Structure 1
Amino acid sequence: MCEEKNGLIHSMLILLFISNSCFYAHCQQITLEDVLSRQSLNETSTFGDPARLDHALVNGTVPLKRVPRNVPATNCWPKAPFALLRAATGCPGGGAWGTGEVRHRLRAASSVSQQNLLSAQITKEAVTLEFCVRDPPADTSDEPVDYDCSHVNADFPPGSYCIFNAQQKFNIYERCPPGFNWSAVGLDDIGTVNRRTRGRMPTGEFFDTFTHYYFCCRNDSAPSNHMVLPTKRPFILFPLGVHRACQEVVGLRARMFSIYMDADHGSYVNHPNRFCSPFAETDSVIEGVGPCAREKRGKGLQLHMCHYSLW
């Protein structure tokens, strides 16, 4: 009985300390139930030993976070493997995300219209794009996990938008989630760069002098028809070339911007369905039948994006 009482007092003291610390640090609050349930804390931190966990809590060396167990599907992104360009504020939450980057060595004219919206590095010699990939399990996420979405079966809503493909399947027609069609964008890089890729990336081919990205696009609802996606943190989607307008999302403001990648010899947009491809522009267009049908080729690539946020 005395041991149980001492354990409860110990847990209450830890809770009091955490609550006071959170008041000044503006961190998320945690309840006595969470402190008593060592298992729930261990699941959301890297401290498996209770003694190490208590020491970390008291000394403030681990940021506490509470991961709600019963989460509405609207708070979670779909489980299907896909990827997004990383917004300047990070990955969008709503589950576990992996991160990675691809470095392109390009000509000096590369630029982005609104640098503060996109997490990318642009110099006179190279463009490094950063990605959020929605395929790792929760315990290996590279980003903070705000919700436990491992048991939530959310689906992508109808609309007019594109995402990056992240499904590693041999048949290209089977790589996209249900309701999407594949598309592709490619560009020529100038030459080999050190550490061309790092971490997790969307599906594609990343050669020394050429890059090929696969997209998944859908066009089963007008972009003016609002759809529901998680709204806790900003994220980036791609508009369709046929509409050239951002898909509306409930509760969020959409802002269109673009990145221009000054390719070495050429770039292209390829799609089996011209109504389901991202809004991307090149310097010239090839029309007609044959192996170049439905392709747009040019030297530079202008890729348009939509940034979504609460403000």
Structure 2
Amino acid sequence: MENIFILFLMIASACAVGWPSGRYSLPKPKTGCPPGWAEGGRYQDNEDSNNINSVTPSIGHHFFGTFGRNTNLYYCTKTTSSGSGSWPSGNYCIARYGGSCPSGFSTGFIYWDDEDNANANSKWGVFPDGVYDRNTKIYYCCKSDGSAYSYINLPTNKPFYLYKYTSTCQRVRGMTVTEESVKMDDEDDQNNSSDDGCHPSKSDTTKVDYCYYS
């Protein structure tokens, strides 16, 4: 009986965890954003010729968006600074919002050289810090001050994404994690795609690795 009571307290404690303080963005899953967060999206016009876009897994991924010859990704953004303490130590990234990272993170970016011909890039709503014109530059906040294998406490009442960083996907107490990825084929001619600083794991020039928690 005592063990059951302790287990109940552990579950109740995990459920009571709120999102850390600060302003930031996370990729939007099919289950939607946390209550009160803003939403937005970015449509990227990817390479027209011999397009090799992909999403992994191709069937059964959890991204809210559309994936074909072009990519439409959505974001959930926490626009207020209030929250439940600081982000826990670990190895993961979030997307930057509001001009700076929460305490304990370092910033960086990924720049996609999108399709040059008849470029149809667009955006709407609220989305991560970046430059959104004929090309796409998104800023991130990453940390590696703890082990990805050590469980951290984050809200467990609804699925969410983090970005994979320099290790495996960060473990989150009470959640199952699945690694997913999105590859956006960038411009073939005079390509200027780049990255700098601290940014999510990339398997190649344009494939970004995500961690889905459910």
Q: TM-score surpassing 0.5?
A: yes
Measured after TM superposition, the shift of residue 72 of structure 1 is 9.0
Gaps of 5+ in 2: 1-12
CA distance change for structure 1 residues 162 and 103 in 2, over 3 Å: closer, same or farther?
same
Measured after TM superposition, the shift of residue 73 of structure 1 is 9.3
Instruction: Determine the structure 1 residue equivalent to 2:10.
Output: none
Larger Rg: 1
Number of residue pairs matched by the alignment:
192
Instruction: Determine the structure 2 residue equivalent to 1:268.
Output: 194
CA distance change for structure 1 residues 130 and 166 in 2, over 3 Å: closer, same or farther?
same
Deviations 1:46-82 (A, max 9, x none): xxxxxxxxxxxxxxxxxxxxxxxxx999432123110
2:77 to 121, 133, 157: 133
Alignment of 1:280 onto 2:205? no
2:120 aligned partner, one-letter code = V
Instruction: Determine the structure 2 residue equivalent to 1:101.
Output: 41
Measured after TM superposition, the shift of residue 89 of structure 1 is 1.3
Gaps of 5+ in 1: 1-70, 138-149, 169-174, 283-297
Q: Is the 8 A contact 2:22 2:80 kept in 1?
A: no
Q: Distance between the aligned counterparts of 2:67 and 2:93, measured in 1?
A: 23
Q: Is the 8 A contact 1:269 1:280 kept in 2?
A: no
* Secondary structure in 2 matching 1:118: coil
Instruction: Determine the structure 2 residue equivalent to 1:79.
Output: 21
Between the two structures, name the one with larger relative contact order (CA 8 Å, sep ≥ 6). Answer: 2
* Percentage of pairs with the same residue: 27
Q: Distance between the aligned counterparts of 1:74 and 1:84, measured in 2?
A: 20
1:112 aligned partner, one-letter code = V
Alignment of 1:159 onto 2:90? yes
Q: Is the 8 A contact 1:79 1:135 kept in 2?
A: no
Q: Distance between the aligned counterparts of 1:238 and 1:246, measured in 2?
A: 8
Q: Distance between the aligned counterparts of 1:277 and 1:136, measured in 2?
A: 23
Deviations 1:196-249 (A, max 9, x none): 0000000000112x1111000001101001000000010000111x32x00000
* Secondary structure in 2 matching 1:75: coil
Q: Distance between the aligned counterparts of 1:184 and 1:223, measured in 2?
A: 21
Q: Distance between the aligned counterparts of 1:185 and 1:281, measured in 2?
A: 13
Higher helix fraction (1 or 2): 1
2:56 to 99, 104, 113: 113
1:253 to 176, 197, 207: 176
CA distance change for structure 1 residues 308 and 72 in 2, over 3 Å: closer, same or farther?
closer
Q: Distance between the aligned counterparts of 1:118 and 1:259, measured in 2?
A: 9
CA distance change for structure 1 residues 128 and 162 in 2, over 3 Å: closer, same or farther?
same
**C-alpha RMSD over aligned residues:** 2.1
TM-score by length of 1: 0.58
Q: Distance between the aligned counterparts of 1:227 and 1:166, measured in 2?
A: 22
2:143 to 218, 222, 228: 218
Instruction: Determine the structure 2 residue equivalent to 1:90.
Output: 32
TM-score by length of 2: 0.83
Q: Is the 8 A contact 1:133 1:200 kept in 2?
A: yes
Higher strand fraction (1 or 2): 2
Measured after TM superposition, the shift of residue 193 of structure 1 is 1.3
* Secondary structure in 1 matching 2:61: helix
Q: Where in structure 2 are the equivalents of 1:1-311 lying within 5 Å?
A: 74-91=16-33, 93=34, 95-107=35-47, 108-114=51-57, 115-124=60-69, 126-135=70-79, 152-168=83-99, 175-191=100-116, 192-193=119-120, 196-208=122-134, 210-240=135-165, 242-243=166-167, 245-264=168-187, 265-271=191-197, 276-282=198-204, 298=205, 301-309=206-214
